[in-house]
Structures are given as C-alpha cells and as structure tokens.
Amino acid sequence: VGKESLVYIRGKIDCLVLNDDQTYSIIDFKTSEISRYLSIYSRQLHAYAMALEFPSKKSEIMQGAVKHMGLVCYEPQSFGFSKSGVKKSPENKKGTPATAGLTGICHYHEVEKNFPEFFRYLTEVVEVLEGEIPDPDPNCSHCNYLRQAERDGYSKLS
C-alpha cells in the first residue's frame, strides 16, 4: 500500500498455473452462486496477485507477474440419495453405505486485475484496523457481548 503496516494478509491459493510466457494464472474454486460475492472474491484474488507481484522481504513465496485471475464456481442444483445399497443384518448393524450424488452447474469467471482499486480498498481497511478504537455503540451486538464479557470477569484484549 506504500507504507509500513502491522497488518498482514494470509491465505492459500487454490490453483497457481505457470504459463508458457513465465507469468502466472491464479484460479480459486468456489461452491456458490457467484454474482453476489464477486467483489469479495475479486479482492481475495487481488491479495494473492499482490503477494506474487510484491512479496514482502520476509516472504518465502515465489515472485512473478500475474497475467490471469479467475474463479471456477460450482453451483449445486440437486442432491440425490439412493438407499438401494443399505442392507441391515444381525452381523452388519450399520448396513452398507448408500450412494449419494450432487449435480450442478460449473462456470469460469475471469477477474480483471485492477491494483489501483484494490490498493484503495486495502488502504481503507488498514486505516480502520490501525486507527483508534471507536466508543461502544449500545445497539451493537458485538459491543454488548464485550461489555457482558467484562462484567463476567474477562478483560478486553489490548
């Protein structure tokens, strides 16, 4: 982001492909309907790309340019279950395993690399994480949980 920070991003890349031109493609696998989560998943891919293109000095990750980023999304449609294999007997009280299957649709979504937008987002996140802790809001369930924990004898994390 251009300044020193105590905030670190950690994650595991699902699939990293070394292309013929020695650039990388990052692919992440999701099991969900993608449209409502695309911006969140895009940020995840950008974090991986940033780690490859701008690794920290302490990083053991390989370095290289990222050419493509994408999501392989599996959207489950139906689940089938067959009891035909289940047979109980005095010797076999559990029965034999049943057969089950999941069917659905698989899509690939290319994600355009946009580091300036990702850096703007990351800057906002770092400012919130490293900024002053706001006063508790009486309508906030998290704040109420922390207040109850203090009443029960647990101290706040410093």
pLDDT (0 to 100) of residue 144: 77
How high is the mean pLDDT of the chain?
A: 82
Query: Containing H/E element for 135?
Result: none
pLDDT (0 to 100) of residue 36: 81
pLDDT of 147 strictly over 70: yes
| Residue 158 pLDDT level (bands cut at 50, 70, 90) | very low
pLDDT tens readout for residues 18-76:
999 999 999 999 998 888 888 889 999 999 998 888 887 766 667 789 999 999 999 98
Q: Is this structure's pTM higher than 0.85?
A: no
What does the pLDDT average to over 132-146?
A: 76
Residue 12 CA to residue 28 CA, distance in Å, equals 10
pLDDT (0 to 100) of residue 59: 67
The maximal CA–CA distance of the chain, rounded, in angstroms, is 70
**Alpha carbon distances (Å) from 151 to 51, 135, 136, 145, 147:** 42, 17, 15, 10, 6
CB 14 within 8 A of CB 48: no
Residue holding tokens 């990750």? Answer: 61
pLDDT (0 to 100) of residue 16: 95
Q: Which two tokens stand for residue 148?
A: 């109850």
